[in-house]
Amino acid sequence: MPLVTTEKMFKMAYKNGYAVGAFNVNNMEITQGIASAVTEEKAPLILQVSRGARDYASNSFLKAIIDVVVAENPDIPIAIHLDHGDSFETAKQFVDDGFTSVMIDASSQPFEENIRVTKEVVEYAHAREVVVEAELGQLGGIEEDVVGVKDISAHLTDPEQAVEFVKKSGCDSLAVACGTSHGAYKFKSEPKLAFDVIQKISNKLPGFPLVMHGSSSVLKEFKDLINKYGGDMPDAMGVPEEAISKAAKMAICKVNIDTDLRMALTAKIRQVFAEKPSEFDPRKYLGPGRQAIKEMVKHKLHVLGCAGKAAECM
Ligand code: G3H
Ligand code: 13P
Ligand code: ZN
C-alpha cells in the first residue's frame, strides 16, 4: 500500500467513532517507535512533520525514514502530513515533496485572510490529490501571536464561523480550538475541554472531520521519571485520556500528539544517564527511549479507538 491521504481514514473514523493518531516525528527512533506500535496494533497512521522538524532533520531525511516505514508496512495505511504550515509557499513545498496531506495554519490571521490563504493552498493541493487541514480559533503554545492569551475560552472556534470557513475555503478537515493547547503545560487547575463547541460544530457540519491539536496527556509515568532524574516539570499537565476518548467518539477524527513522545524519550534518557553514568553509547539510551515510545503509542491507539482499524481504512 503506498502512502495514502487521510480521506478514507477520516470517513471510517467519523462513521465508527474513533480518531486516528497523528504523531510528530523528528528523528529515526521516534518514527520507529511509533511505527512498531501501529504495526503490532494494526492501526491507521498519520506521521506529521513540523517546520521545526524539517529545520532540524531536513525533509529529505524524514521523508526517507517514513518511506521505509511505508515499504515495511504494506497492511497499514499511512498518511504523511505537514503540521502547522505557515504559508502557501511552505504548503506548496511539502505537496511538491510528496506529502499526502498538508496543514495551512493561518488561524492567527483575520478571518477573511485565513479563508483566502487556505483556499489558495486547497486549490494547489487538490489539483495534486493532496488533502488540506486548516485551523480556525486559537490555541496557545507554538502560536506565538497568541502567547500570553489569558482566557483560552475567548479564542475557541466559533461554530457559525466554522461553517462559513469550511464552505468558502474548501478545506478537507478543520482543526478547532476546544480548550487544548500545545506543550506540557495545558492547564493550571482542573483540565476542561469545550465538548459543547465540538458538538455545535459537528451539528452544523455533519460528517465533516475535525482535528484536535495539543492532545498530549502528559503521562504521569514519564513526568515522574523526568522529575525524579533531575528534570524540572512539576506543574506539567495534559488532557486526561478519558477526554481524548470522548472527543474521538465525537467528530474529532485526528488527534495530534507530540509532547507525550518527547516526554517518553526524555524520561528514558534521563533514567539511563542517572542509573548508568558511565554509559556513552547512544544506542543504550536512545534504544530504551524508542521502546518507551512504542509502548506508549500502543496504549494511545486504544485510547483513540483506532487499534485494529487499519484494514477498514485501506
Ligand atoms: O504543534 C506543534 C508540534 O508540537 C511541533 O512542534 O514546531 O517544536 O516541532 P515543533
Ligand atoms: P501536544 O503538544 O499536546 O503534543 O500537541 C501536538 C500538536 O498539536 C502538534 O500539532
Ligand atoms: Zn498543533
pLDDT tens string, the chain, 314 residues long: the values are 679 999 999 999 999 999 999 999 999 999 999 999 999 999 999 999 999 999 999 999 999 999 999 999 999 999 999 999 999 999 999 999 999 999 999 999 999 999 999 999 999 999 999 999 999 998 854 343 444 445 556 689 999 999 999 999 999 999 999 999 999 999 988 899 999 999 999 999 999 999 999 999 999 999 999 999 999 999 999 999 999 999 999 999 999 999 999 999 999 999 999 999 999 999 999 999 999 999 999 999 999 999 999 999 99
pTM for the whole structure = 0.96
pLDDT value for 49: 97
Residue identifier of the C-alpha nearest atom 1 of ligand 1: 182
Helix, strand, coil shares of the chain, percent, nearest 5, are 50, 15, 35
Closest C-alpha among 102, 157, 156 to residue 125: 102
Q: Is 53 in the pocket of ligand 1 (CB under 6 A)?
A: yes
Taking the centre of ligand 1 as the mean of its atom positions, its distance from the CA of residue 50, in whole angstroms, is: 6
Residues with CB under 6 A from ligand 2: 24, 83-84, 182-183, 213-216, 256-260
d(Cα 310, Cα 259) in Å, to the nearest integer?
24
Q: Given CA atoms 125, 38, 243, 313 in this order, what sign does their dihedral have?
A: positive
Residue to mutate (ligand 1; options 23, 47, 48, 50; most atoms within 8 A of CB): 50
Amino acid found at 240:
P
83 given a catalytic annotation:
yes
Calculate helix-pair angle for 241-249, 195-204, nearest 10 degrees: 10
Ligand nearest to the CA of 51: 1
pLDDT value for 142: 35
Cα–Cα–Cα angle for 274, 239, 39, rounded to 5 degrees: 70
Q: Is 24 in the pocket of ligand 1 (CB under 6 A)?
A: yes
d(Cα 178, Cα 191) in Å, to the nearest integer?
12
